[in-house]
Amino acid sequence: MGLVSAEGMLRKAYENGYAVGQFNINNLEWTKAVLNTAQELNSPVILGVSEGAAKYMTGYVTVTEMVKAMIKGLNITVPVALHLDHGSYEGAYKAIEAGFSSIMFDGSHYPIEENIAKTKELVEVTKKLGLSLEAEVGSIGGEEDGVVGAGEVADPLECKLIADLGVTILAAGIGNIHGKYPENWKGLNFDVLTQIKNITSGVPLVLHGGTGIPEEMIKKAIALGVAKINVNTECQLVFAAATRKYIEAGKDLQGKGFDPRKLLNPGYEAIKASVKEKMQLFGSVNQA
């Protein structure tokens, strides 16, 4: 199976009370780890690519071609969506042109009228091409590619305005944060999540900043309509820790331990273990 829109997998998740993980990728090892884990667990999966990560991997076309070739090379049969994460207006068009199957247009930093106008346009473009579109209302706290959000809580009425445009999925700030959560974090705002769910008439919701949210809160969020959960920082942390451990143990100095295929393997395995844990928690195992 090639790349698919995220619509079918997220609709199914929303209706059956589980969530599909979006795991952000940074290179070949990352992509291979996420795809192999999804296949082993028979889970649908969304590969997230930020504009910064796309640039790092030398462009949207490189990413699309790598992922498509890897799906073939690894015999991946579970549904895989290749999703632009926090796309700008220009970035959305570039990713569409390169063959991404799912787009997030993050217009949350525009005045709501402009966010609506641009989102509406992209709804039409993506619908015609059979791609899924994620929109955002109210910025997500923390930092993503240099964009710092204030940890806002979205206005449910604004969420309804955007949801009614026909977006596939909606990201709304409910106290969640990108990156590591601070000690004094107040937790997710379930009152606002409930209001958003009630007012947006069946649009699956997205929870960004899935690293470090307690399990009970994740489960409650899923029960309240969250069907997609983004995980990025966690894989970075476990990859770095496993690589550090390997080098601190002096393993790169033993035999051919310096070989990148050996050096990067502990990090690869660590990402796999993390992705597995998240898929089990989100309930997407055997839902391919």
Catalytic (active-site) positions: 85
Whole-number Å distance between alpha carbons of 46 and 39: 12
Choices 28-36, 203-211, 261-269, 275-283; region in contact with Zn ion by CB under 5 A: 203-211
* CA dihedral sign, ordered 238, 17, 159, 90: positive
> Which part of the chain contacts Zn ion (CB under 5 A), choosing from 66-74, 110-118, 124-132, 206-214?
206-214
**Smallest distance from Zn ion to CB 183, Å:** 21
Residues in the chain: 288
Instruction: Provide, rounded to whole angstroms, the least separation between the CB of residue 46 and Zn ion.
Output: 12
| Residue closest to Zn ion when measured from CB atoms | 208
The Cα 45–Cα 39 span in angstroms is 9
Which of the residues 76 through 105 are near Zn ion (CB under 5 A)?
Answer: none
Distance CA(176)–CA(277), nearest Å, equals 20
Q: Which stretch binds Zn ion (CB under 5 A): 73-81, 151-159, 208-216, 271-279?
A: 208-216
Please say which residue, 160 or 208, places its beta carbon nearer to Zn ion: 208
Q: Which is nearer to Zn ion, 208 or 272 (CB)?
A: 208
Instruction: Select 55 or 245, whichever has its Cβ closest to Zn ion.
Output: 55
| CB closer to Zn ion, 208 vs 228 | 208
Is 208 a binding residue for Zn ion by CB under 5 A? The answer is yes
- What whole-number distance in Å separates Cα of residue 230 and Cα of residue 141? 14
| CB-based burial label for 166 (10 Å; 0-12, 13-18, 19+) | middle
The stretch among 10-18, 207-215, 242-250, 277-285 that binds Zn ion (CB under 5 A) is 207-215
Please report whether residue 228 would count as binding Zn ion according to CB under 5 A.
no
Pairing of strands 147-149, 205-207: unpaired
Say how many residues touch Zn ion, by CB under 5 A. Answer: 1
CB of 219 to Zn ion, least distance (A): 20
Closer of 37 and 233 to Zn ion (Cβ): 233
159-to-94, 112, 156, 173, 225 alpha-carbon distances in Å: 26, 10, 5, 10, 14
Contacts of 247 (CB under 8 A, 6+ apart): 263
Q: Contact residues for Zn ion (CB under 5 A)?
A: 208
